Structure 1
Amino acid sequence: MREVITMTLKAQKRAKILEMVKNKKIKQKDAAIILGICRRQLIRIFKEYLSKGDEALNHKLIGKPGNHRISSDIKEKIMQIVRNNYKGFKPTFIAEKLYEEHHIKIGASTLRLWMMETGLWKKIRKTAKHRTRRPRKEHFGEMIQMDGSIHDWFGTGKEVCLMNMVDDATGTSYGLFDTGETTQVALQCLFDWIMKYGIPYSIYCDYKSLFYTKREATIEEQLAGKLPLTKFGEVCHRLGIEMIYAHSPQAKGRVERWNGIHQDRLIAEMKLKT
């Protein structure tokens, strides 16, 4: 009965070229160029091929456990830590925490596969991107994206607001919690940012009533040639901060993405601290 040898695509290509060398259809130097190896390496491989046949062309570790394979005991130990401490958290975050808190270094992709095997994680289907990202600003403070995120941040069933400011150029962020998306928390957040980093050139926000008003200008405003502003807008006007309004959440994508990251990472961090 003829023996069947499983060969990789690379080994199959080498076998065809070496067979041509054996039958003197091409020279060894030409075979080395086709295979992308040096003449000396080709001679060594050709000698093994003549003595052992196709089997000599396969990698020696095929069918054997990898040198860096993690043992089943260590895998079970890691998964036990995940089940006890990080259930419901995302694989990338867990991998970071395993290294920080337990001194265990494991790749996020490997951990993701293990969690999928045990039902601790389900594959998330990503929707196709259909928007072109606006290039970042070149300088820190040139544009600050600002937005409030209403969410059950503390896991109590009660929604509160995280007012978040993100520098468009560097991604530097600052945020404050409050009971709602109010003028008070927005002004406090702006005050803290100015004390820490200085007055920004512009603020990119949405058309929420906190930042934008549709009311008619008063007589005094009309006589002075001023546009109607909210209290937050008035403060920005006095400070020389330009107000830019986004027509969609995607337009101020940096702060929107930070809100999503905080809803994942920040909540998980707070859970671990309690």
Structure 2
Amino acid sequence: MKPKEARRLGIMERVLAGKVSIRQAAVLLGLSERQVMRLKKGMKQEGEAFLVHKNRGRKPKHAITHDVRDRIISLASEELKDASCEHMAELLEELYEISISGRSLRRIFKQAGIKNRHSRRAKRRKRRSRKRMPQEGLLVQSDASPYAWFEDRGPKACLHGNIDDATGKILALWFRPEEDLYGYLMVLNLTVINHGIPVSLYTDGHSIFFSPKKDKLSIDEELAGKTVALTQFGKALEELGINHIQARSPQAKGRIERLWETLQSRLVIEMRLRGISNIEDANAFLPVFIERFNARFAVWAADPEPAFKPAPTSERLNEIIAFREERTASNGSTISFHCKTYQLIDVKDQAVSLAPRAKVTVLTHLDGTISAKYGDKVFSLREFVPQPAPKAEIRQAKPRREPAPVTADHPWRQISPIAPKPSTPVEAYLEAKRKRFRKYAF
């Protein structure tokens, strides 16, 4: 018998003995006089057992059955391992048709001796928090999180993402093997397509966002107006008209840092339940997950009017959000790119004439196609294959002419008699004269 029932029994025994009146018993027990009279009548008929609650020992109709309890404990140890009680309650109702509250799950785990890492949170260091922006789209935080998203089923990956500061809404997510420019350009592209152009973008100081040469400028150089070249990502933001803000610490962009903690718990478990173990399948699942996540956690902005600017046309956006590489035109109006020679082709499928040494920007788009920007126009590229030079005609060698035979009376065969050597200088002079004139004789 519980203490409350034992106290009630002692007072009612005094009522039955006539030592305490009905009114006094009602005051002592905190009941109405009618209830005290009911208890007195019941004790006369059934004795002390009447004071025990009739539902004691009976199982409620809405109680969780032993089979369901065992199923929950089994799932919590395997498929739903490391999930918080609230997240597990959502997954049980969605995937296993088990409707149960997070509080009931917490009680079941406590009775079964199962420890949950989310049951007690560590004390957070008190910081002065920044108020949310009043409008959606005023400030978007961007970051990436390398993590074992597929656990031991697949390779490590890096999740790139954008989150709105005003609502906490996930704007875009994209998996890549590692943190790189392609991942950030992809989430920027998805954000602009699905929501519009934000006013500002908040990132860390990674070299993808800001040139490392920026820190090397002295104060005098900055006052003189010297600047460093924008990165590929910075050029895309400049053309879209997005203000780029650098965060000086991880706490400054705490909203997206906390998002990674949530996703490393929820997204990992949901991909485990669906057997997702590679980047391609994970990227295909992300839109469904983002929609459900935003419906569960996003809040309303103070100002319901969004600050996103309209997105440009798909052709213009495809031109802005792309990889850019400068090339110099050759004298033959061609450019070289990745060990191949290309010509610029206009809408009439004609090759564009380029000035010698002209600067051409080659654009590699997110879908892998390439084009080129020359001046203010964008042209498609066609690989240029030089025509082989015509082969020279092979001339047949003329037959060698046999030399004419030398006859016996040929002058070459005539042996001139050896003239006697001159004996005197006069004769030698005359002989030289004769040889000279003999030379020109016909």
So what's the TM-score if we normalise by structure 1? 0.73
Q: Deviations over 1:107-156 (max 9, x none)?
A: 22222333344454335542222124322222111111111101122235
Q: Which moved more, 1:240-249 or 1:133-142?
A: 240-249
Partners of 2:105 and 2:32 lie apart in 1 by 40
Distance 1:81 1:235, change over 3 A: closer
Which stretches in structure 1 are left out of the alignment for 5+ residues?
36-40
* Aligned pair partner of 2:165 in 144, 168, 175: 168
* Deviation at residue 201 of structure 1 after TM alignment: 0.7
Partner SS state of residue 99, structure 1:
helix
Partner SS state of residue 204, structure 1:
strand
Q: Deviations over 1:174-203 (max 9, x none)?
A: 111112222232122212211211110111
Higher strand share: 2
Q: Among the aligned pairs, what percent are the same residue?
A: 31
Q: CA RMSD in A?
A: 4.0
What letter is aligned with 2:183?
V
2:173 and 2:187 in contact (8 A); partners too: yes
Partner SS state of residue 76, structure 1:
helix
Partner of 2:378: none
* Aligned pair partner of 2:129 in 133, 139, 145: 133
Alignment of 1:1-274 (within 5 A): 6-7=3-4, 22=21, 42-48=32-38, 61=55, 65-83=59-77, 85-118=79-112, 120-124=114-118, 125-129=120-124, 130-156=126-152, 158-173=155-170, 174-212=172-210, 213=212, 214-217=214-217, 226=227, 229-274=230-275
Partner SS state of residue 248, structure 2:
coil
Partners of 2:22 and 2:37 lie apart in 1 by 14
Larger C-alpha radius of gyration, 1 or 2? 2
So what's the TM-score if we normalise by structure 2? 0.48
Partners of 1:244 and 1:60 lie apart in 2 by 68
Which stretches in structure 2 are left out of the alignment for 5+ residues?
276-442
In the comparison of the two structures, how many residue pairs are matched?
A: 258
* Deviation at residue 50 of structure 1 after TM alignment: 5.6
Distance 1:184 1:102, change over 3 A: closer
Partners of 1:199 and 1:121 lie apart in 2 by 45
Partner SS state of residue 251, structure 1:
helix
Partners of 1:229 and 1:57 lie apart in 2 by 83
Partners of 1:62 and 1:249 lie apart in 2 by 55
1:116 and 1:123 in contact (8 A); partners too: no
